[in-house]
Amino acid sequence: MRVIAGSRRGAALIAPRGRATRPTGDRVREALFSILGPIDRARVLDLFAGSGALAIEALSRGAACATLVDSSTAAVAAIRRNLQALGLEAEVRRQRASAFLDSARAGARQYDLVFLDPPYRHSSALGQELSDAIAPVLAPGARAIAESDRRAPLELDLPLGDERRYGDTLIRIYHGP
């Protein structure tokens, strides 16, 4: 796994050991960022961050800042190692996504780009909970990107802008309210 483009292009990334984390593959990330286009100065939120590959790719491509959230100790350690190895700064939180979204809403924090890549086995069950919690933290013109298994999609109650399938991976790009 590596950074695809930008200031850290080609840099290797590590993922937590074991099967609990399923990093977004290089080809899917490359296709996704091609669809998203320029993201200069974007404020990024990466929920269920795993290795941090999506937010790190965004930072490499010019995002202004990123917050990476994961409940796994191993994932948070991998994210911190990746950020340190690449000389990048970002806020890293070991917290459940729903708890983070509650605190972000209470603090009136907003993001331009939100990545949602929960464990595939939980994706379809999280749609309503995440829809309700995500909307208040989306800045005007924001996009939320959901990654899930095509057989159990993560469906959000937001306007769907684009949908792409890469093997068993389904990417949906939603627009903020």
Tell me the CATH number at 115: 3.40.50.150
Residue 13 domain-assigned (yes or no) = no
Average of pLDDT values for 66-95?
A: 96
CA distances from 145 to 79, 84, 90, 118, 122 (A): 19, 25, 19, 11, 16
Q: Containing domain of residue 80, as a range?
A: 26-175
Structural domain includes residue 36? yes
Summarize the confidence of residues 20-30 as an average pLDDT: 74
Give 135-164 pLDDT, tens digit per residue: 999 999 999 999 998 888 899 999 999 999
The total number of structural domains that make up the chain? 1
Q: By CB neighbour count within 10 A (0-12 exposed, 13-18 middle, 19+ buried), where does 153 fall?
A: middle
Structure token pair of residue 41: 């100065």
Is 100 part of any domain? yes
Is 120 within the bounds of a domain?
yes
17 within a domain of the structure (yes/no): no
In a domain, 48, yes or no: yes
Instruction: Please tell me the predicted confidence (pLDDT) of residue 159.
Output: 95
Which pLDDT value is given to residue 19?
56
Average pLDDT rounded to a whole number, residues 8-28: 77
Name the DSSP letter for residue 106.
H
| 113 occurs within a structural domain | yes
> What's the pLDDT at 129?
83
Residue 20 is predicted with a pLDDT of: 52
